[in-house]
Structures are given as structure tokens and as C-alpha cells.
Chains A and B, each alone.
Chain A
Amino acid sequence: MAYHFQFPRSTQGRLVLLTLFCLIACVAQAATVFAVEKLTVYSGRSERLIKPVLDEFTSKTGIQVDLLSSGTTELVNRLKAEGDRTPADLFLTNDAGSLEQARAAGILRPLNMREVDRAIPPQFRAPDNAWIGLSGRFWIIVYNTALVKPDELKSLLDLADPKWKGKLAIPNAGSEYLQAGVSVIRASYGDARTKEFLVGLKDNAGGQVYQKSSQIVEAVAKGQASLGIVNHYYIYRHLAAQPTAPIAAFMPDQQESGMGAIMNVAGVGIVRSTKHLESAKLLVEFLVAQAGQKLFADLDKEYPLHPEVKADPALVERKNFRAAQVPLTRLAELREPTLTLIEQVGLR
């Protein structure tokens, strides 16, 4: 006997049906999550920079990766709130300070992996390997070659000089690069000098406060701003796409007694409560191995941390400049007072 499904006539019946439909959809959505071996990655890096790398991992191992891209601090807050119930297996982000904070909050899992010890020098990872640096980036000056001559530039701190008023583009106060950069300046020169610097920065930037580093590079390339402070790889990514753009990178604070360029790393940590430890380790292994490190160098124009992997030839060679002597692990403890200082100055 054929079974005829009859659509309920009464409104109440339809309502019940609709609710049922939604429930089924909910369950179906949940079911797909558990069907195949899958890793969930919380990523504070721009999706454009990290997705190609993760796609490469998926095509190599067959392990699917679910990506939640969001702000770094937002994700740390989220991981703290979710505790052991978090769906995340790994936390990947652009700032060592945030990674160290996550480690201190007990979110990340200490790792004992020979592959990591061999590939990444110890100053670029947590002592217990709860987070592991993957690629290095420097907070440097991008300038428009038609508007600024490189000999006008020396230190980041000079950007507070009134002569750059209306010509400077800076990231917004929520940017972890800015926070980390200010922390390093505080550690090198003290709070009073840093505050003076920030006040000048705020005045000079005016309305040119951007959410994304790529926007700053774009603005400098168009001449809307003469110079800006960004992570180095945004400059080289822009130049790779548009080789004729009138921009160049300046590595600041290399003068004698200067603090050196401000370095930060993007890194990854395995979330303590992960249920997919083996796959998560596979991903870490993939990221620190030469092949993975080469992806960061080629696609993203970052400095790979693996000593045997070369950076993109367009970049200033790593051995030709100095980095600031503030250990990455200190970025976390420096952060809260830095935020207060930033707020006091009233940076947006």
C-alpha cells in the first residue's frame, strides 16, 4: 500500500511540522560534525593567509579542517569561557603575547615532540611547548617612495615627530601587533617615553586609523598616507601582487644603541581538551616541517622560523638586521599595563 504524506491542514499542525523540520536540520548539522576525522582550528590570523596552508594539510593527510576566523583576543576570551567543552583542537594566532596568555590560562597543552624541538629554535616557543612559533614578522615602516626618502627615517619613535602630521597611517588600538609593539617599546624605553610616542602617533595619524594592515599598505601605495606602521609581510604581499606600487619597507631602529626591529611570531598551540590529539599533532608536525615552513615563506612572505628554510628573496635578509631584545614570553605580562597606557592616551 502506498503511503501518502498529507500536509497537515491546521495551522498548529504546520507549526509542529516547521519546528520538527528545524530540529531535524539542527541534528543533521550536528551529525556532519562527527562524521569524519576533523580538526577544529580557532584562528586569529586573516583567513586569506592561513587557509591555503590548511588546505595543503587536508590534501596531504585527508584530515578536514574546520576554521573559525576571528579576532585573537576574542578567541582567547572564547576559549577561556568554553573551557573543556570547547570544540577547538588547535589555536592558531598572530601574536606571541596572546599565545602566552592562553598558556598561562591553562588552555593549551604542553607538548613533547621531537619534530618541534628540532625545527623551531627555543626562543620562539614556550618552555613547555604549549605554544610553538611558526613564522616571524617584524613591525616596520612602509613608506611611499615618491613622498618619503629613506634617509628621513630612523626609529619608529621618530614617527611621533609633528613633521609627519596627517601623513601617517596606523593600526587601531585593538590590533594585537600594535599592542605587542607598544609593549616592546615600553620594555626598551620606559612608560614616559612610550606615552610621549603614543600621543604624537595619535596626533599625526588623525583619522587614518585602520583595522587591517593591508589597508594601511594600500593607503600608502595610493599616496593617501605617506608612511605607516605594519607587519613587514603585508608590504611584500602587496609588491608581489603589484610590483610597480611605489612602496618600500624600512627596517627601523637599526642605528647604534637603537632597540632593534620589533619582532613577533605567529604560532600555534594544541588545546588541552582536544579529543583528536593525534591528528592535532600531525598538523603541528606539518606546520613546523620544512614543507610547511616554506608555505609561510612563499605564500605569506613571513620569516620562517626553521633555520634551514629560506625566507623569500625579496625580503631583507634576516642576518642583516637586529631584532629587539625582549623575549616573546614577556609580551603577555607586559600587555595589561600596555592596554591601560593605550587607553589613557586615547588611541582609537
Chain B
Amino acid sequence: MTTLRAHLSSPLQLVTLASAALILLPLGYVTSQALSADPAVWSRLWTTRIPELLTNTIWLSASVACLTLLLGVSTAWLVTRIEFAGRRLWEGALVLPLAMPTYVLAYIYSYLLGFGGPVEHVWQLIAGPQARVFSPQSYVGATLVMTLDTFPFVYLLSRSALLNLNVSFEEVSRASGISRLKTLWLVTLPLMRPSIAAGLALVILYVVSDFGAVSLLRYQTLTYAVFQQMTGRSDNTAASILSLLLVGLALLFLVTERWFRHRSRFYQTTGRYRRPERHRFGWLGTTLVTGYLALVVGASFGLPAYLLVIWSLSPEAQATIDNRFFGFLWNSGFLAACAATGGVLIGLPLAYMANRRPSWLNLGCLQAAYAGYVLPGPVAALAVLVLCLNLTPFLYGSVLVLIVAYVIHFLPAGLQSLEPALQQITPNLEEVARTLGLGVRQTWQRVTLPLMRNGFIVAWVLMFLQTMKELPATLLLRPVGFDTLAIRVWMEASEEYYQLAAPSALLIVLLGLPTLLLLLSKDWRAA
């Protein structure tokens, strides 16, 4: 009892609890709204929409998982085990697709593969004038776009697994006369399994929660349906029910990912004795490898980026770059800065308390903050909306509501870099400061905060950039006059005004590039 009182007495503790409540309350409201819904609504949804939505969502996730597995592992293996001209360049270039928001890639592919589009023209030259390519607005199209956008997750994890593997295992296998490919199959891949699985779970989580691509490609998934229900119906019950299903599904994949990540520790060998020896390829091999990598990077980043530049330079697009355009840019920057600052301010006490006073209460609060992972944009928006309507209706339609939704949605990304930054500071340093006569506050000011500055900055930048490209929550909650770059891209692209969408899209991509540097250096998980 005394401990509980001691817990609650500290102001920092109260802040922690309040932050956790801010995140859990919306989720609770949506859950209760869904569970208290009229059974007739449930049964109507079960007989009409849910089977289609569930199968679509699961099929899309499964096929994207298979393809990203192929692309991610093969590219990672090539850049870590083969030596060829330009290897280091490709090593970095393979991350570039992560700077493309899914809705940008989706709209570019709906142009490329669209009816009468460039790909069809080329194909008709080969296969005759009546030949058709598959429609991008389909299962195949959605799979293609999502694969090209998410394979770097698997690539990054496989690459780091390949770099950290103890190469002796492979060498023993080679010394026993087993061919290079067979070694890959029998030794390397099984060792990489945990990392690959973690990467795949991440890909699936991303696919399940994506809104931008599926809405532009009109492929019906749960996330898209939540948005449609929210905008097409006058009550949110059906949206809440679909959200609950979606959260359940996402939770399943999150737990899987955690489990594999936990297991992967068993496979980490402590010391890596030397770099893996890279097999040198002759000119033919180099050409083939380069061709393959160029195809992958070209399709996922090069060609789309080229089109964006060309379109942005067109006179139609140039005409849209006026004061209004800079207003959108300012809105994007302003919202993102607020969300990132809010995220850091809320994340810091959570991470600090969980690390320095790891009571069940504090650890629970920290875990609650990770709930954002299972709240796709439309669901986060719905949750905040329902909460706001019930508790603080006077805030509805204000910037604050939107920022709370962003913070809930992106806090996990921020915590991913705040937490390690805190863990790296040994409490000894703080204790030394105290014994040398500094007060609690001074210790915090002069020791703890300066030491974790980098983690701080990384967390802020990551949340800033993610908010910058956020689409569904912004669409649903933006106040008057708060159109962002992402909104402009979506509005123009959904009416197929490709050129007009290009300048905003290009800017979002360019602003996303710095995140990639952070990713390559350490915090790959946060994108």
C-alpha cells in the first residue's frame, strides 16, 4: 500500500499514467462501441462485407509476404556475399523505396499499368494490338505495389543477419565440399530464419494497416473499409466493429513479430571473427547481378522518382506551385513538428520510468504506448474521434485532436529510439552526479538529458517525417485550412490528375530521404 502511494505521489509517475491513459482510452472506447453494437449490425456485416474483407486482407498479406521474402533475401544475399563493381552503392540504394509512401507508388503504378498506359503500349507492340496487361486496380496490382514498397524491411533484416552471422558455419559447409547454393539453402537460410520471420511479420503489419495504396487501387481491405464506413455512414458502429477485427488481426502479427525477435537472440553469436569472404564475380556475373538489382531498385524507386520529376516540371504542375502550395508545405511541417514534439514529450517520461523504476505499473504503461502499432491510421482517427465526442466535444475539429491521433499512431516509432538511448546510460552516472552534490533536477538537466540527446533527436526526426506523409488520419480529422502535402497528393491522384499530384509527392519523397540515413545507421525498425 505504501509503495502504491509512493508510486502515485511522484509527479513524473502521474505524467506517465496520464500518457498511458491518453493512448488506451481511445482504444477502449472503440472496443466498447463495437461490443455494445446492435447484434443486427454485426450479423449484417458478417453476412455481407466481413468475409470478403478478411479474405482480401489475408490474401494480400500472404502474397506480399512471399514476394518480399524472395526479393528481400536474394538482394541481401547478393550484397553481402558477392563482390561486384558498385556493390556498396546498391547496398544503400535498396533502402530507397522506403522513402516512397505507398500512395505515391500506387498512383504511379496506376498510371504505368493503367488502361492505355505506357506498359500496355509496349506490351501491345510485342503481343499484338488487342493485348492487355493486368489492371493495377486489382489483387495483382495491390500485391505488386505493396511488395515493391515493403521488401526493404526484409532486406534490411536479412542483411544485418548475414553480416552478423558467424561465417565459420558457412566455411565448414564449403570445406566439406558442399556447393555455394546448397550452403545457402542448408546452412545460411536456416540460421537467418528468425530475422526473416521478424521482417515478414513487419511487412504484414504494414500491409494490413496500409490505407494509401489500397484506396487508390480500390482494393477492399479492412483498413480501407473502416475509412469507407466512417465517411459513408452517419454512425460509426460498423466502423468500430471492423476496427476491432483489424486490431485483433494486427495484434496477432505484432505478437508473432515480437516472438520471433525474441527467439532470434539465441542465434546471435557473440564475436564475429572476420568479415564474410565475398565471392568475386566475373563480368558476366556482375552484369547479371547488376541487372537484377537495377530492375528491383528501378521498379521500386528509380522509375517512379523519374516520373515524379518529369511531371513536376510540366507546365500544369508548375502552375500549382504558388502561395497555396507553400501553405500546404507549412501545414505539413507545422503538424509534423507539433506531433513529433508531443511524441517526444510523452514518450520520454514513459521510457524513463520504465527503465529507471521498472515496476509493473511503469512497464505496463510503456507497453500500452506500443499500442499504436496495432492502430492503423483510420482506426487511430476513429478512436480519437469517438473519445473526443464523448469526453471533450469542444475540441472536435481542432488541431489538437489531429495531433493526439498522430502521437498515438507514431509514438512506438519514437519509443524505438528513445528506449535504447536511455538504456545505454548507466544509472551509475546519475548516482555519481548525486553523490557529488547535484540535486535531482540538476542531475536530470546536466547528466541524463545531454547524454540521451541523440536518441531524442532521432526520435523527433522519425516522428516528424512519418507524420509528414500520414494520410488517413489527416483526411478524417484535419481542421479547416489544414490540407497537407499528403492530402493534395491523394486528392489529385484519386481523380487521376497525375501531373498535379507530382510536386507534393516529390517533396514528400525528398523529405523522407534523411530517415533512410538513420535507418541504415541504426534504427531500421522505425520506418
Contact = CB atoms under 8 A, between A and B. Distances in A.
Contacts, number: 115
A207 B491 contact: no
Contacts of A19: 341, 345
Contacts of A223: 115
A175 B480 CA distance: 22
Contacts of B232: 71, 73, 173-174
Interface in B361-385: 385
Contacts of A211: 218, 494
A69 interface: yes
Choose among B389, B397, B456 the residue with the greatest number of A CB atoms under 10 Å from its CB.
B397
Interface stretch (A40-48, A155-163, A280-288): A40-48
Interface string B453-484: 10010000000000000000001101111000
A69 B396 contact: no
Contacts of A73: 231-234
Interface string A16-30: 001100100110010
A32 to B, nearest CB: 9
Contacts of B44: 340, 343-344
Contact of A212 (B334, B345, B396, B495): B495
Given A11-B450, A348-B220, A48 B495 contact: yes
**Contact-residue bracket for chain A:** 35 or more
B137 interface: yes
Interface stretch (A80-88, A132-140, A252-260, A292-300): A80-88
A29 B475 CA distance: 19
A344 B47 CA distance: 8
- Do most interface residues of chain B lie in helix, strand or loop, or is the interface mixed? helix
Given A29-B334, A207-B135, A207-B137, A214 B496 contact: yes
A218 B135 CA distance: 15
Contacts of A18: 341
Contacts of A325: none
B494 A47 contact: no
B393 interface: yes
Contacts of A67: 480
B480 A66 contact: yes
A322 B138 CA distance: 39
A299 B400 CA distance: 38
Interface residues of B, number: 47
B314 interface: no
A329 interface: no
Contact of B396 (A46, A70, A81): A81
B397 A77 contact: no
20 contacts: A11-B450, A12-B444, A15-B449, A19-B341, A26-B399, A29-B399, A47-B491, A71-B231, A74-B231, A76-B234, A78-B397, A81-B389, A81-B396, A85-B394, A173-B232, A212-B494, A214-B496, A215-B495, A344-B48, A346-B52
- Sorted from nearest, which 4 A-B pairs have the closest CB atoms? A174-B232, A224-B115, A11-B449, A74-B231
Interface of A: 10-12, 15, 18-19, 22, 25-26, 29, 33, 40, 42, 46-48, 66-71, 73-74, 76-78, 81-83, 85-88, 101, 172-174, 207, 209-212, 214-215, 218-219, 222-224, 339-340, 343-344, 346, 348
Interface of B: 44, 48-49, 52, 115-116, 135, 137-138, 218, 220, 228, 230-234, 334, 337-338, 341, 344-345, 385, 389, 393-394, 396-397, 399, 444-446, 449-450, 453, 456, 475-476, 478-481, 491, 494-496
